[in-house]
Structure 1
Amino acid sequence: MTNRKLILYIATSLDGFIADESESLEWLLKTEGEGDNGYGGFYETIDTVLLGRRTYDWIMKHENGNFPYKDKKCYVFSKSLKGKNDYVEFMNEDIPAFVKKLKGQEGGDIWIVGGGELLSYFIKERLVDRFIVTFAPALIGRGIPLFKENDIEMDLELKSVRRFNQFAELQYDYKGAPVL
């Protein structure tokens, strides 16, 4: 029996945006953190990365083709791309069934990197076990929201609060998350 968790690990502005209207993270990058702000420790706990197609395309464009998760098993959910490349496998199957299958396998935790559409679906299906959200001291007014408008409620339990200089990380577990 395994206990893999599906984790959202993400940074947001104080007013709840993960990028500005032009998909820039400049507001985030200019914030003074501390070391890697806990990223390295988190990254060691996961062995699988889940991405939406737009997030994957953004990473490939902004990282100049240097895929940052080469040492992890990566899946990109896409309606049009199929197969795999050197870094990712493209998925177009039943998401809840696929995630439940992943959670039932041996291994580390599973990281949902983004994006908003995929995250919204995961929340609606109650697939996210843990939310690790790092707040930057910035109000950007508009942009890409962390959470889309939903008609669901989730009870969360605060597990930890950490400070990395100007960043504040809050970690919540979904109270209703099933134990597999």
Structure 2
Amino acid sequence: MKKVGLFFGTFNPIHIGHLVIANHMVEFSDLEEVWFVITPQSPFKVKQSMLPDHHRYQMVQEAVGEYPKLKASTIEFDLPQPNYTVNTLVNLKEKHGDQYIFSLLMGEDNLKTFHKWKNYEVILENHHLYVYPRISGGDVPERFVGHDHIHRIDAPVMEISSTFIRNNHKKGKNIRPLLPESVWKYMDEMNFYR
């Protein structure tokens, strides 16, 4: 069975930091693919800066087009909202359980609060976590230190944020180097985040 890492996020927009981390995971760990799981816009929390699901999906598709080990996933678009990661994992296992072994990718900052996730014990019992470093890493709870299902991957530290890109694009700053060229073109043609 193929080992797949799930990289969850709004990807609003996807940027080179996301690609660097995902590519590092498939090249320097035992993961064979990384799927970008695009979190849908909550109907209860409509944010002006959040692009509709299909546009964010299209940008992820544009970004991963040249990377055969990276994929875009809309699995969460059809799940009831609000959704929890544990539900997504159950859904993926039901659909693809005989083909793939699913793991989660997360920044070290998210591992600090992982114990607050819904059914985190179930997730950790049935899935592995691949953790990449963040400057804001800090202290990880003792229960996660040395855990058999938690793998620290020495990926490059990427402190680029989609919020920074959106805010500065709106101010007229040149943020183009922070985006894959195809994402920049799509974003520019569609006049997003201005």
Which structure would you say has the larger RCO, counting Cα contacts within 8 Å and 6 or more residues apart? 1
Question: Which of the two has greater strand per residue?
Answer: 1
Name the TM-score, length of structure 1 as normaliser.
0.37
Question: Which of the two has greater helix per residue?
Answer: 2
